[in-house]
A and B are shown apart, each in its own frame.
Chain A
Amino acid sequence: MEQASTLNRHIATPLSTSVPTGKLGVWWFLASEVTVFGGLIACYILTRLGSTGWKEAAAHLSLVFPLLNTLVLLTSSMTMVMAHAAVEAKDSHRLRTFLMVTVLLGVGFLLLKAMEYSREMAQGFFPHTGLFWAFYYGMTGLHALHVLGGVIVNLILLLTVPTATETQQRRVEFAGLYWHFVDIVWIFLFPLLYLT
């Protein structure tokens, strides 16, 4: 049996399924994230249903910031998947543009959130103010941390992918899956906290 000579080539193993390994890995990661956010949201819904006075507390939230944030995140989801389309079209210019817009929109979300938090804290609403506020800060805070993580990943992609190999460019799709998930979580947080 050949020993070193086989190993000296790039070692290629046929995959057992047709799903690229990176994509499979991201979907399993999303499965665990569904239970994290799902668990937190379930706790919010249950505790709210069993308590009183939350509607009044929620009335102190602004509508402008979260509405803007929702539009920002939805648009960033669109630009992220368009970046993926640009990879498939081998359009390096559009890839760079769409990734940059996605990163900027993500940063915009975080800035708006920070402004919203400071406005609320200036009015005296902190996590310890009441159970509604505890959930509000907990849920949006955890979500914001995930947005930050996504922004960092997208920034790394922006800097490395336009000059990367074809296999490495598939990472745009995988990062997109995570980014869309973060958007979906916000799609539920927005009505749960701000519209009810």
Chain B
Amino acid sequence: MTQALTYTHYFRIWVWLVGLIFLSVLASGLLPREGALLVIFAAAWVKAVLIALYYMHLKYERWQLAAVVLIPLLLVVGLAVTLVPDIVIGHGK
């Protein structure tokens, strides 16, 4: 890969990222609640994955490096799910 291509490559990802932002803002204003939430959070995840794969180069690294951050993410999600009965459903009781 020549250097010129690499800079362009990063710029292209940036264009996608900015596009997704504006998509999210539009969705929050125009779509009904459920649709808006879906678009907004899908867009956020896509942006995060784009940055992780291409800016943090996870696409070109060994999978164990991605595992180092994915496992804690799963843990936090597990924590959140376990807390739903107490903090969400049982709130104020």
Contacts and interface: CB of A to CB of B under 8 A. Distances in A.
Contact of B88 (A24, A32, A50): A50
Contacts, number: 120
B21 A71 contact: yes
Interface of B: 3, 6-7, 10-11, 13-14, 17-18, 21, 24-25, 28, 36-37, 40-41, 43-44, 47-48, 51-52, 54-56, 61-62, 65, 68-69, 71-73, 75-77, 79-80, 83-84, 87-92
The DSSP consensus for interface residues of chain A is helix
Given A38-B73, A88-B3, A180-B52, 13 more contacts: A31-B69, A31-B72, A34-B72, A35-B72, A35-B76, A50-B89, A78-B10, A82-B10, A85-B3, A184-B48, A184-B51, A188-B44, A191-B43
B52 A184 contact: yes
Contact of A70 (B14, B21, B84): B21
B32 to A, nearest CB: 13
Given A38-B72, A85-B7, A196-B37, A45 B13 contact: no
B87 A91 contact: no
B84 A46 contact: yes
B91 A50 contact: yes
A45 B44 CA distance: 15
Contact of B14 (A51, A67, A78, A176): A78
Contacts of A188: 44, 48
B80 A78 contact: no
Interface of A: 19, 23-24, 27-28, 30-32, 34-35, 38-39, 42-43, 45-47, 49-51, 63, 67, 70-71, 74-75, 77-78, 80-82, 85, 88-89, 91, 176-177, 180-181, 183-184, 187-188, 190-191, 195-196
A124 B54 CA distance: 42
Nearest to B11: A78
A81 B57 CA distance: 10
